[in-house]
Amino acid sequence: MGKLLHLPNISRELEAKLLAVGIDSPELLREKGSRNVFVKIKTIDSSACYLMLLSLEGAIQGLLSDDLDQQTVNELMEFMEIFNQ
């Protein structure tokens, strides 16, 4: 079991995607940030969606994605709206 799997919201499937884009540790995930990592994953997985972005941010903050504060959720929603244009 990899270190990434110890983070909230990180399944084996998401861990595999993180590894595929060069994210191999919680520290590197935090350093790169959820938005940047999401964009990298999107280049290899067209099905990457808003829920994945929430999962990544939750993992960085040590929270389940449902427990992210409303300001963070709103900022990520705004990012997705711009990203999807």
Q: What would the pLDDT profile of 4-20 be if each residue is shown by its tens digit?
A: 999 999 999 999 999 99
Distance CA 4, CA 20 (A): 13
What's the CATH code of the domain at 54?
Answer: 1.10.150.20
pLDDT at residue number 2? 72
69 pLDDT band, cuts 50/70/90, is: very high
Q: What would the pLDDT profile of 31-45 be if each residue is shown by its tens digit?
A: 999 999 999 999 999
Distance CA 10, CA 36 (A): 17
pLDDT at residue number 5? 96
Give the total number of structural domains in the chain. 1
Half-sphere exposure of 79 (CA within 13 A, CB side): 18
With helix as H, strand as E and coil as C, how does 2-40 read?
Answer: CHHHHCCCCCHHHHHHHHHCCCCCHHHHHHHCHHHHHHH
- Domain carrying residue 75: 3-83
To the nearest whole percent, how much of the chain has pLDDT over 90?
A: 98
